[in-house]
């Protein structure tokens, strides 16, 4: 995630990529479509990503430089 922020990707593009990564991880773990929906309701991946972005920008802005 940090490297995506450093790349300067838009939040929309990061969200698209993160959601694909998230779904693939659940699929590999054997979670079916109904299970994915439950995961999505409990912790939507876009909100998870927003939290990660906020964390890096607020607590470690120096890591985003360069």
DSSP labels, 23-56: HHHHHHTT--HHHHHHHHHHS-HHHHHHHHHHHH
- Tell me if the pTM is above 0.95: no
**pLDDT single digits (tens) 14-46:** 999 999 999 999 999 999 999 999 999 999 999
Write down the pLDDT at residue 8. 86
CA 26/CA 8 separation, integer angstroms: 27
Share of the chain above pLDDT 90, in %: 77
CA angle 47, 50, 52 (to 5 degrees): 115
- Note whether 5 and 64 are within 8 A (CB): yes
């Amino acid at each position: 995630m940090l490297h995506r922020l450093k790349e300067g990707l838009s939040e929309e593009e990061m969200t698209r990529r993160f959601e694909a990564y998230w779904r693939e991880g659940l699929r590999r773990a054997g979670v079916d479509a109904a299970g994915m929906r439950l995961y999505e309701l409990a912790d939507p991946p876009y909100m998870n990503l927003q939290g990660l972005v906020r964390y890096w920008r607020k607590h470690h802005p120096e890591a985003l430089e360069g």
